[in-house]
Amino acid sequence: MTQLKVKADNSISLSKLQSINKNQKCVVVRCAPEVLLLSPPDRFPLSAQLSVKLTARNGQRVGARRRGRRVFLCWFGSTPEICVGDVGLAKRVLSDRTGLFPKNVTSPVLLKLLGNGLVLANGDEWQRHKKVVHPAFNTDKLKTMTATMAGCARSMVARWEEGGVASHGGRAVIELSGQFEEVTADVISHTAFGSSYAEGKQVFMALRELQFITFSTLLSVQIPGSRYFPTKKNLRVWMLDKKVRSTLMEIINNRLAAKEKAGGYGDDLLGLMLEASAPAPPEHGESRAPLLSMGEIIDECKTFFFAGQETTSHLLTWTMFLLSTHPEWQEKLRQEAVRECGCGGGDRLPTYDMLCKLKLMNLFLLETLRLYSPVPLIRRRTRAPVEMGGFTAPAGAILTLPIATMHRDEEVWGTDAGVFDPTRFDGAAGRRGGKKAALLSFSLGPRACIGQSFAMVETKAAVAAILRRFRLALSPEYVHAPTDVITLRPKHGLPMIVTSVHT
């Protein structure tokens, strides 16, 4: 039974935690197959079941399973952290509603990347942002967005047919990860901001570069005040941030200029935020302050431009990888997509209700999220001393929840935890293994990803569009090297042999 209890006394000070001899490091035991959080090798075998087990220099093995514990000290670069590898305890941390475990911002560059929006805000500030943003992703809005998602996916597969497959006898090698980055960027641009990938391209390119810079700073020792030095890296960060903000302001100003003609700000995410920023008309002789400032709107735009595109594109990438390595499931999903959404031809786009009927595809995506979660870990900070699993964490300690590790936990998912099997999520099958409640890819509790339904519908629309027209097989050029750069991506891309189903 996991324990989580707030302590009245600070039995371990944060300064003492940071002064522990680094020679006694603890590191993640039973790391997820193929997933390496620091410097990955150039390739892994496709069937690799990598279990990283490191020891302290004195020869004593340390880790989550030592003395039956899964809560232990580890180091991320030069930062001491407490790894919480117990699924039950992690769920309690994520489900907390008292504010005991706020989000942790370890790098100032992370704010440049994501902005202090819904993902990183805490307390009353987070509540205020959520009140504005949440209505943009309700079910009714998703139903209206589905046509845009399906239309973007259809345009992508049409380009594949016209630009490569048709001219090469119905068969061509296409690098899919880059294709998915563009189509998901186009979807979030259209549905949330009323623009397009072409208009927001500079934002996406700048955010991608900021992403790699951010990850590099997470592993380095930060000298106090060094973020203000005009170093080469800082100058680049400032330039990229300026480019992102200026492009976003241009999109916002275009919407403001069209307000009178359109009769309002619009009912998408950007429109809701602009409505919240506008001074409210006086009511009963009293005026209300706007819910969001213009600076906060820009931060939220950065949050959703990045989070709305990055995670979904990688989910699509790993879904295609697993479809190509499991052809029997590829055929099952193709038959289901044709049955529920029709064949690939014609002008008819799948509706929200059609996509909801893709039960096998839903199981497949859940298993993809389990094995290749786009976000491999979650970090939180303790606001007060807390006892968990027999270990007392001091106030201000950083908690690392290794999703990739917990998604392979045999005690939760069964002895076949390392095996790809979508039926484990089929409640009707009576499986003894893990359930959907143990899936942490979108987090859970009050801070669960607000766009998870959006991501699942978008992914289903894209996968259905692809499978109705093409068969997929891994190219011999593919090198299997998943790497974590805040999100989990294939280091060398995903070249795929794409063959028309009509060939």
| Residue 302 · residue 115 · CB < 8 Å | yes
Question: Which structural domain range is residue 392 located in?
Answer: 1-98+376-406
Residue 43's pLDDT band (cuts 50, 70, 90): low
Question: Mean pLDDT over all residues of the chain?
Answer: 82
Residue 379's pLDDT band (cuts 50, 70, 90): very high
Altogether, the residues listed in the chain come to a count of: 503
Residue 26's pLDDT band (cuts 50, 70, 90): very low
Residue 225's pLDDT band (cuts 50, 70, 90): confident
User: Highest mean pLDDT range out of 43-47, 159-163, 266-270, 406-410?
Assistant: 406-410
Asked, for residue 36, whether it belongs to a domain, the answer is yes
Q: Choose the weakest-confidence range: 178-182, 219-223, 250-254, 496-500.
A: 219-223
Residue 259's pLDDT band (cuts 50, 70, 90): confident
| Residue 473 · residue 499 · CB < 8 Å | yes
The residue assigned the tokens 């009707």 is 428
What pLDDT shows up at residue 428? 60
Asked, for residue 204, whether it belongs to a domain, the answer is no
Does residue 420 have a pLDDT over 90? Answer: yes
**Alpha-carbon gap, residue 53 to 43, rounded angstroms:** 19
| More reliable by pLDDT, 342 or 471 | 471
**Alpha-carbon gap, residue 279 to 477, rounded angstroms:** 56
**Alpha-carbon gap, residue 249 to 246, rounded angstroms:** 5
Find out whether 449 is annotated in a ligand binding site: yes
Residue 139's pLDDT band (cuts 50, 70, 90): very high
Residue 180's pLDDT band (cuts 50, 70, 90): very high
**Alpha-carbon gap, residue 353 to 369, rounded angstroms:** 22
Asked, for residue 385, whether it belongs to a domain, the answer is yes
| Residue 3 · residue 389 · CB < 8 Å | yes
Asked, for residue 355, whether it belongs to a domain, the answer is no
What pLDDT shows up at residue 458? 97
| Residue 386 · residue 377 · CB < 8 Å | no
What pLDDT shows up at residue 489? 94
What pLDDT shows up at residue 70? 83
**Alpha-carbon gap, residue 439 to 91, rounded angstroms:** 10
What pLDDT shows up at residue 347? 61
The 10 Å CB-count burial string (b at 16+, else e) for 351-376 is ebebbeebebbbbbbbbbbbbbbbbb
**Alpha-carbon gap, residue 404 to 87, rounded angstroms:** 11
**Alpha-carbon gap, residue 264 to 317, rounded angstroms:** 37
| More reliable by pLDDT, 34 or 279 | 279
CB atoms inside a 10 Å sphere around CB 431: 16
The 10s digit of each residue's pLDDT in 3-25 is 455 544 433 444 444 443 344 33
Task: Categorise residue 266: left if φ over 0, alpha if ψ from -120 to 50, beta otherwise.
Answer: left
What pLDDT shows up at residue 65? 40
Does residue 320 have a pLDDT over 80? Answer: yes
Residue 63's pLDDT band (cuts 50, 70, 90): very low
**Alpha-carbon gap, residue 187 to 329, rounded angstroms:** 27
Q: Which helix (H) or strand (E) holds 341?
A: helix 327-341
The 10s digit of each residue's pLDDT in 125-135 is 999 999 999 99
**Alpha-carbon gap, residue 287 to 284, rounded angstroms:** 8
**Alpha-carbon gap, residue 161 to 171, rounded angstroms:** 9
The two structure tokens encoding residue 253: 């100003």
- Give the pTM: 0.85
Does residue 418 have a pLDDT over 60? Answer: yes
Asked, for residue 501, whether it belongs to a domain, the answer is no
**Alpha-carbon gap, residue 352 to 139, rounded angstroms:** 9
What pLDDT shows up at residue 143? 94
Asked, for residue 13, whether it belongs to a domain, the answer is yes
What is the 3-class SS of 197-260, one letter each residue? HHHHHHHHHHHHHHHHHHHHHHCCCCCCCHHHCCCHHHHHHHHHHHHHHHHHHHHHHHHHHCHH
Q: Taking residues 307-335, what's their average pLDDT?
A: 96
The 10 Å CB-count burial string (b at 16+, else e) for 293-303 is eeebbbbbbbb
The residue assigned the tokens 């005040």 is 225
The 10s digit of each residue's pLDDT in 185-196 is 999 999 988 887
Residue 50's pLDDT band (cuts 50, 70, 90): very low
Q: Which amino acid is at 451?
A: G
What pLDDT shows up at residue 108? 81
What pLDDT shows up at residue 430? 47
* Angle ∠(36,326,458) on CA atoms, nearest 5: 75
Q: Which helix (H) or strand (E) holds 499?
A: strand 495-500
Asked, for residue 125, whether it belongs to a domain, the answer is no
For the chain, what is the domain count? 1
Q: How do the residues of the chain divide into helix, strand and coil, expressed in percent and rounded to 5? A: 50, 10, 35
The residue assigned the tokens 């100058």 is 235
CB-count burial class (<10 Å; 0-12, 13-18, 19+) for 452: middle
Does residue 59 have a pLDDT over 50? Answer: no
The 10s digit of each residue's pLDDT in 195-224 is 877 878 888 999 999 988 888 887 677 777
The 10s digit of each residue's pLDDT in 76-112 is 777 788 999 999 999 999 999 999 999 987 678 888 8
**Alpha-carbon gap, residue 490 to 318, rounded angstroms:** 8
Does residue 449 have a pLDDT over 90? Answer: yes
Does residue 35 have a pLDDT over 70? Answer: no
Does residue 460 have a pLDDT over 90? Answer: yes
What pLDDT shows up at residue 68? 42
Asked, for residue 187, whether it belongs to a domain, the answer is no
CATH number for the domain harbouring residue 54: 3.30.43.20
Backbone angles phi, psi at 362, to 5 degrees: -65, -45
Cα end-to-end span (Å), the chain: 57
What pLDDT shows up at residue 61? 31
Does residue 294 have a pLDDT over 80? Answer: yes
Q: Which helix (H) or strand (E) holds 458?
A: helix 452-467
Q: Which amino acid is at 6?
A: V
What pLDDT shows up at residue 37? 37
